[in-house]
Structure 1
Amino acid sequence: MNPLLRVVVLATLLLGSGCASLSNAERDRASGIAAQARSQVVDCDKPDRCALDSPLRALGGHAFSESTQAAPRHYATLVDEGEVALVARVNLIRSATRSIDLQTYIFDKDDSARLVLDELLAAARRGVKVRVLIDQLSAISDLQILGALASSHQNFELRVYNPTFGKARLNYADYAGSVLCCFRRFNQRMHNKLLVIDDALGVVGGRNYQDDYYDWDSEYNFRDRDVVVAGPVARGMAANFDAFWHAPRSVPAERLNDVGLILLKQGAPAMPPADYRRPQRVEQVIEEATDAEYVRRTFVDTALPVASVRYVADLPRKHRRERASQPANGQHVTEPQLDALISGAQSEVLLQTPYLVLSKPARKLFEELRKRENPPRIVVSTNSLAATDNPIVYALSYKYKRRNLRELGFNIYEYKPFPLDAPVDYRNLLPAPLGEAPAGDGKRSSLLGGSAAGSNARGGSGKSNRRSDGVAVQPAPTPATAEDESDRVADTARRQPTPGPAARRLNDGSAVERRVLRAETRPSFLGTKAVNKPLPVTRSGARMGLHAKSLVVDRRIGVVGTHNFDPRSENYNTEGAVIIDDPVFAEALAQSILRDIHPKNSWTVAPRTKPPVLSGLNYSVGKASEALPVLDFWPWRYATDYEFQPGPDCPEPLQRQDARFHTCYIAVGDFPEVNVGPKWLLVRMLTAFGAGLVPIL
C-alpha cells in the first residue's frame, strides 16, 4: 500500500475507534495516578515473606545445594493433568520468598485465571516482587481489571507486550487497521509461557491461564503438558524473562491509551470481587496446594534427577524489522535448536503438535531424514478435526496427508474429541449447577486421570509396555478394574449436556458458541470475535483437544515447550522450550505421548485400501491436485482415519505399515465424529484455497 494512503487509512480507523491516543503528558499523569494508588503495606516482616513451607519449593534448594558450576544439578517433573498443573502453580506462588515472574500468551478472567491473579496479588502484599507480562492479543482485555492491577501494590507490576495502537482492548477498526497498516507486526506475538519462582524453579509448557487448560471448562478442554524444573537453569529462564520485560514492546499497563484513559477519568478502579462459577473446585485446588504431603507425593516423589537441562527461548529481537532481511543476526533461537535435535535422530522421533502444518525448511528437514538408508521412525501426535480448536489450520494438515505419509514417512495419530484414557479426572468434565461441587465426593479419584509414568502418576499404573517396533501396548487391567471404571466415567462425562446460559445448545448435541478465545484462535479484521472455534460434533459433553508441544528423540532427549513446530512459531511468534538430555526423562515423556496415540485416545491415519481399478490414476491426479497452490477439489483422498478393532486375531495395536493393518482397523472417514453437514464443504474450500495461508498458520 502507498505509504501516504496507509497513513490516511490508519488515521481514519483510529478516529473511528473511539479511543484517541493519549499524549505523553497524559500517560505520565495516568502513571502517576496508578503509582500513587498503589499500596505500600506489606503484610509480613519475616525474611521469608511468610512463604508457604513447600516440598516443591525446597526441591529448588536441594538442586542448588547439590550443584557445582561444572556440574549443575536439576530435578524435572512432568505435569500432564490440567487441574494438577493449577495446583502446582498455586503452591509455587505461595512458596515464593523473593520474586515471581509470570509470562504468558493468554490470560483470561475466569475461575482459574482469577485464582492465579488473587494468589499473585497476595504474594505481592506479603512482600514478594511480582512481575506479570502478558501478550496483548489474547490476554486480559478488561480495562477495569487492568486498571486495578496497575494500581494495586508497589510489589506488583503488569506489562503488556506488543499492544496494537497502544491499547489493551481492540475493536473492529483496530483489527481492520492492523491488517491494512501493520499486518506483520500485529501477528508478531509473544507466545512464551513461563513461571519462575525465586530464580530457583521454572514452569514451562503449553498452558495459558484459562479454564480450558486446567480441565475446568464444561465444553472443551486442552490435553496439555508442563514441566517443572528445579535448579540453576531457572536463572536462565529469569534472564530471558528480563529481556522481554525490558523490551520496547513491553508497555506498563497504566501507559496504554485505554487503561490510561480509565485512570484519568475515574482514578484507580477497585478490583472486581471474585465471582467463581465453581467455588468448591477452587477451594479443592487451594487445599491440595497447601497440603505438603499431597505436594510431595504429586510433584516431588515423581521428580526425576536430570543433569543436562537447557532452556532455549527466542528473544524480543526476533520481532525487529531487520529480521526478514538479516536472518543470521541471532533472532531465531528456539527453532534451530529443535531442528538440530530432529536432524540428529538415529532411530525415532516422537513429535506432538496441535497443528501439523510444515514450513518449507521443516519439510526439507524431514525429507533429508527420509533419504537415509535407515531413516528414523517418525511418529506424530496431532489433532483430528473433531478435536482441534482451529479448523482452518487442520484443513492444511488434511490437504497434505498424502505427502506427510508417503513422502515424509510420518506415522500420524489424530487425537479424539472424547478420549477414554486421557490424563484427566473425568469427574471434572461432568456439569454441575452454579455453586455446586463437581460430581463425586470432592476428592481426586485414585482410579481416574492418572498421568503417564514419571508424571504425577496416581491413577492406575499410568505405564505402557513397548514392543520392539515402538508401538505402545496398554497393560492388562488390574483386578480393581480401574480401566473399566475410567471408561464408564469418561463415557458419562462426554454424554452430559452442557448446562446454563454460558453456552448456546446446538441441535447436534454439542455446544461450541461460548465467546472464548482459545489457544491460537484470534479475531480477524472482519470482527473482534474468535474466527476459529471447535466445530460441532456428533456427541454431547465436554470434549478435549490436543495442545501439548513436545518432542522425544531416540528416547534420549525430551523437549517440552511452546513451539508448535509450524510456520507461525518459526516466523511470527517468540517461543521457548526446555530440552533435557536424559534417557529416563525422555522415556517418561515418550510414554506420555504413546499413551495419547493409543487407540483409546487417537485414530490412526493410514492410506486407504487401493481401489480395484484406476488406483494409479487416482493417486496421480490426487498428487497433482494437492500440488496446486489454489484449487484442490479432488475428492478421493489418499489417506483417511482408522479405528482399531481388537479381537483374537488383533490383540495389539499395529503400525500402519503392518500387513495385517486393514484386517485389524476399519476406516472411520476423513472427519470422524464431526457433525459435518456443510462443514465438509468448508474444509474442502479451505483445503482448496488455503495453501497460501501456510506461512501465517
Structure 2
Amino acid sequence: MTGLRSIVVAMLLPWLAACATLSSAQREQAASVAAQARTTTVDCVAADACAQPSPLRRLAGEAFATSTAEAPRHYALILDNGPDALLARINLIRSATTAIDLQTYIFNEDDAGRLVIDELLVAARRGVRVRLLLDQLSALEKVETLAALAGIHANFQVRVYNPVLGRARITYPQYALAAACCWRRLNQRMHTKLLLVDGAVGITGGRNYQDDYYDWDASYNFRDRDVLVAGPVAREMDADFVRFWDDARSVPAERLSDVGRELLARGVPTLPPARFRRPERAERMRADAADSALVAQRLAAPALPVGVVGYISDTPAKHEGDGSGHARASRSMRRLIESARDEVLLQTPYLVLSEPAQDMFRELRARADPPRIVVSTNSLAATDAFIAYALSYKYKRRYLREFGFNIYEFKPFPADAPIDVAATGAELSPVETDNGGEPGTTRAAPVTAGPDAAVAQAPPMQRARRDFSSVRRPTIAYRAPLSREHTALRFGSRGANEPVPLKRAGVRIGLHAKSLVIDGRIGVIGTHNFDPRGDDYNTESAVVIEDAAFAQALAASIRRDIAPANAWVIARRDRPPVLSGLNYSLGKAFEAMPVFDLWPVRYATSYEFVPGPECPTPLPPDAPGFRACYRPVGDFPEVDLGLKSLTTRIFTAFGAGLAPIL
C-alpha cells in the first residue's frame, strides 16, 4: 500500500467506524426495548378521546355534510400570519378524535417545535393515534429525543425518511462520506409537508416546525404561507401519507443505528420537560388554542367555501431509479402554467429554474399574445440562501428579456407584511422610520413595554404594519444546518448558513412562500419552489383550487408582497452612453458559460418606486413611464457590500453547476 493510500485509509477509518451499523439482532433488540417501554395507559375513555371542540374541525363536518360524489364541497383558509398558522395547528391537534398524521421536512427542538411535540403527546395519551414522519437531514436534533419518543407511548410512532447511512443524525464527516458514496440518494429528500387530523382536515404549504416559520425568532423570520383545507380532499391526503409511511424508506426511529445504540446502552430515556426560551409566549399560544371564540373569529370565519380541491403530490416512487417518471407535482404545475391566457402570478423564494421550466416559459413568451408573468422572490438582502440567489442573479437577463418576467424582490425590512413583529421577542426602538416607501412621511416606531406588550392589542394585519429595521435585536446568528432547506448547502461553511450582512439592524424577513395564481381563477399553495431540486430530487405537494374567490384572495396576498413598501422591482439598467450593444453581447456571452461568468456589468438592477404627482401608483417595469417613477438602488440594495458581495459574484461566475441541487 502506497503512502498516499495509507493516509486516505487513515482519514476514512474514523468515518467508517462512526457509520458502523447495528446487526439485525441488535435492531430487533432495540425495537423490543422501545416496544416494551411504551405505555398503553390513556387519560380518556370517551368515544371522542376527549377532543376539544374546534371551529376549524367543524368546517370539515359542514363540508362533508354538503358534499356529494359529483359535487364535493370544501372550506379553504389561507394562512399568511405565522402565529395564526401555529394556532391553527395546535387547535386542530386538540380537536383530533382518532388520528393525527404529521409529515415534514424540518422539525426543530426550539419553542415552536417542542410546543407541537407536547401537544401531539397529549393527544396520544388521550387515545389518538399519532404518526410523525420526518426527513432524516432535518429531523429532531438530539438522538436522545428520538429515543425517548420511540418508546414513549403505544399511540405515538415516529419514523425517519430515507436515513442515509442508516442513522437518524449524521455529522459533517458522515455527510461527506455519504456524498462520496451515494450522492443521488443523499439528495432525495421528503420535502412534502402535511398535518392531517382525523382524515378530515389538513394543512400544507411552506412552513416547517421551527420558530422562524411562526414569527418566533428575534433575528430572522420567514414570510410564509400555508393553506388549511377541510373536506373530502383530506382522504387523498390520507392515502398519500400512508404511501410514505408504509414505504421501505420510512424507518422506525428505534431501528436506526444511533437511536438503537442509545436504547441498547441506556434504555428508553425520559423526555425532559420543555424548557421554552420564552415560556410566556408558549402559554399564551396554548390559551389561545383553547379559546373557541378567538379561533372562530381569527381563523374559521375567513375560511372560503369552495368546490373541487385537488391535491397533487409526488410519491416515494420518485426516489426509485432516476425518478424522472414520477415528478407528478412538477408536471401538474407546468400544465397549469401552460394553461394561462392572461397572467401567471408566481411566488418562489429561490428563482432558479430547471431546464424544462425555462423551455416552458420560452414557449409562453413566443405566443402571439403571451400571458404576463409576475414573479415574487427574494432579494439578496432578504434571502436565507445567498448561493441560490447568486444563480438567480446570473440569469436575470434571461428571465427579463427571454421570458418576459416582471420580477419583484422582497425587502429584508418590509413595511407592510403579514409578520407579527411583537411575537418575535425583539424590542422595538423609538426611532423615526420610513412609512411604506413614501418619501417625506415618517412615523414613530411603536415601543413595547416588554417583548410581548403589543401582541394581543390589534389584529395580525394591523400588528404587521411596522418597519422591522426599527427593532433592536441581536446580530444575525449562525443558522445551524438543521434550519436550512438547501440540502446541498446544509453542511457547507458557516458563511453558507448565514444571511448576508446588512447596512441596518432589525428583525429580518425572508420570503419562503411557494404559491401560484393562474388568470385569477386557479390558486395553488404548496411546497414546490419551482426549482430543479423540486423537479428532480425532493418529493413535493400542493393544493390546487379552481375558484375565483380563492384565487383572487391568494393573488391579493402575493400582490401585497410585491407592493413598493415590501419589494424592489428588477428591470433593465440604463444603457451606457457608448458601446451599449457590445456590453449587452459580452454579458450574454459570459452568461452562457457554465464557469468564468466574470463580466462586471449586469443587464438588470433593482429599482425603488418614487411616488409623486406624476407617479401616483406603481407601474410594471415594461410600462412607458416606468423610469420616470422609479430610481435605481443598485444590484444588492440594503446589503453591506463586503465579502458576501464578492462571494455572490464568485458563485455567479462559477456556481452554475450547482443549479440542479439548489
TM-score (norm 2): 0.93
Whether the 8 Å contact between 2:522 and 2:544 is mirrored in structure 1 is yes
Change (3 A) 1:9 1:294: farther
1:383-404 CA distance string (max 9 Å, x none): 0001001001100000000000
Report the counterpart of residue 435 of structure 2 in structure 1: none
Report the counterpart of residue 611 of structure 2 in structure 1: 646
CA distance in 2 between counterparts of 1:498 and 1:18 reads 39
Report the counterpart of residue 546 of structure 1 in structure 2: 511
Report the counterpart of residue 360 of structure 1 in structure 2: 355
The residue type equivalent to 2:45 in the other structure is D
1:20 aligns with 2:16: no
Whether the 8 Å contact between 1:278 and 1:437 is mirrored in structure 2 is no
User: Which secondary structure state, in structure 1, belongs to the residue aligned with residue 382 of structure 2?
Assistant: coil
The residue type equivalent to 1:237 in the other structure is M
Deviation at 1:486, TM superposition (A): 5.8
| Partner of residue 527 from structure 2, selected from 542, 553, 562 | 562
CA distance in 2 between counterparts of 1:642 and 1:429 reads 29
Report the counterpart of residue 439 of structure 1 in structure 2: 451
1:495 aligns with 2:470: yes
Report the counterpart of residue 469 of structure 1 in structure 2: none
The residue type equivalent to 1:202 in the other structure is G
| Partner of residue 346 from structure 1, selected from 320, 341, 347 | 341
CA distance in 2 between counterparts of 1:319 and 1:66 reads 38
Whether the 8 Å contact between 2:423 and 2:455 is mirrored in structure 1 is no
Q: How does 1:31-110 map to 2 (within 5 A)?
A: 31-110=31-110
| Partner of residue 402 from structure 1, selected from 394, 397, 411 | 397
CA distance in 1 between counterparts of 2:589 and 2:283 reads 58
Deviation at 1:443, TM superposition (A): 4.2
Change (3 A) 1:651 1:542: same
1:477-514 CA distance string (max 9 Å, x none): xxxxxxxx865xx23x4333324xxxxxxxxxx42324
Deviation at 1:322, TM superposition (A): 5.0
CA distance in 2 between counterparts of 1:34 and 1:219 reads 39
The residue type equivalent to 1:232 in the other structure is P
Report the counterpart of residue 273 of structure 2 in structure 1: 273
CA distance in 2 between counterparts of 1:211 and 1:191 reads 18
Whether the 8 Å contact between 1:411 and 1:605 is mirrored in structure 2 is yes
Report the counterpart of residue 576 of structure 2 in structure 1: 611
Identity of aligned residues (%): 57
Deviation at 1:529, TM superposition (A): 6.3
Whether the 8 Å contact between 1:521 and 1:530 is mirrored in structure 2 is no
Report the counterpart of residue 580 of structure 1 in structure 2: 545
CA distance in 2 between counterparts of 1:14 and 1:584 reads 59
Deviation at 1:439, TM superposition (A): 3.3
CA distance in 2 between counterparts of 1:444 and 1:287 reads 12
CA distance in 1 between counterparts of 2:653 and 2:260 reads 45
User: 5+ unaligned residues in a row in structure 2: which ranges?
Assistant: 429-447
The residue type equivalent to 2:345 in the other structure is L
- Would you say how many aligned residue pairs link Structure 1 and Structure 2? 637
Change (3 A) 1:535 1:660: same
The residue type equivalent to 1:342 in the other structure is I
CA distance in 1 between counterparts of 2:484 and 2:514 reads 12
CA distance in 2 between counterparts of 1:15 and 1:280 reads 43
CA distance in 2 between counterparts of 1:528 and 1:661 reads 41
User: Which secondary structure state, in structure 2, belongs to the residue aligned with residue 106 of structure 1?
Assistant: coil
CA distance in 2 between counterparts of 1:531 and 1:33 reads 40
Whether the 8 Å contact between 2:376 and 2:408 is mirrored in structure 1 is yes
| Partner of residue 590 from structure 1, selected from 555, 558, 562 | 555
Whether the 8 Å contact between 1:415 and 1:546 is mirrored in structure 2 is yes
Change (3 A) 1:530 1:245: farther
1:684 aligns with 2:659: no
Report the counterpart of residue 367 of structure 2 in structure 1: 372
Whether the 8 Å contact between 1:222 and 1:545 is mirrored in structure 2 is yes
Q: How does 1:131-530 map to 2 (within 5 A)?
A: 131-321=131-321, 323=323, 327-328=324-325, 331-431=326-426, 439-441=451-453, 443-446=455-458, 449-450=460-461, 459=462, 487=465, 490-491=466-467, 493-499=468-474, 510-515=475-480, 517-522=482-487
Deviation at 1:531, TM superposition (A): 3.5
Deviation at 1:550, TM superposition (A): 0.2
User: Which secondary structure state, in structure 1, belongs to the residue aligned with residue 309 of structure 2?
Assistant: strand
User: Which secondary structure state, in structure 2, belongs to the residue aligned with residue 444 of structure 1?
Assistant: helix
User: Which secondary structure state, in structure 2, belongs to the residue aligned with residue 695 of structure 1?
Assistant: helix
CA distance in 2 between counterparts of 1:9 and 1:553 reads 56
Deviation at 1:519, TM superposition (A): 3.7
Deviation at 1:565, TM superposition (A): 0.2
User: Which secondary structure state, in structure 2, belongs to the residue aligned with residue 65 of structure 1?
Assistant: helix
Whether the 8 Å contact between 1:56 and 1:296 is mirrored in structure 2 is yes
1:301-355 CA distance string (max 9 Å, x none): 11111112100000001001253xxx34xx1211111000000100000000000
CA distance in 2 between counterparts of 1:120 and 1:524 reads 31
CA distance in 2 between counterparts of 1:382 and 1:405 reads 14
1:533-586 CA distance string (max 9 Å, x none): 211111112110000000000000000000000000000000000000101100
CA distance in 1 between counterparts of 2:167 and 2:464 reads 46
Report the counterpart of residue 444 of structure 2 in structure 1: none
CA distance in 2 between counterparts of 1:11 and 1:51 reads 55
- Answer with 666-675 or 560-569: which moved more: 666-675
1:109-163 CA distance string (max 9 Å, x none): 0000000000000000000000000000012130111011001100000000011
User: Which secondary structure state, in structure 2, belongs to the residue aligned with residue 119 of structure 1?
Assistant: helix
The residue type equivalent to 2:631 in the other structure is I
Change (3 A) 1:673 1:606: same
Deviation at 1:11, TM superposition (A): 11
Change (3 A) 1:65 1:526: closer
Report the counterpart of residue 467 of structure 1 in structure 2: none
The residue type equivalent to 2:350 in the other structure is Y
Change (3 A) 1:19 1:486: closer
Deviation at 1:647, TM superposition (A): 1.2
Deviation at 1:431, TM superposition (A): 1.9
CA distance in 2 between counterparts of 1:68 and 1:10 reads 67
CA distance in 1 between counterparts of 2:113 and 2:495 reads 19
CA distance in 2 between counterparts of 1:677 and 1:248 reads 47
Q: What do you get for the CA RMSD once the two structures are aligned?
A: 2.0
The residue type equivalent to 1:413 in the other structure is Y
The residue type equivalent to 1:679 in the other structure is K
Change (3 A) 1:244 1:614: same
The residue type equivalent to 1:518 in the other structure is S
CA distance in 2 between counterparts of 1:80 and 1:528 reads 32
User: Which secondary structure state, in structure 2, belongs to the residue aligned with residue 411 of structure 1?
Assistant: strand
Deviation at 1:266, TM superposition (A): 0.4
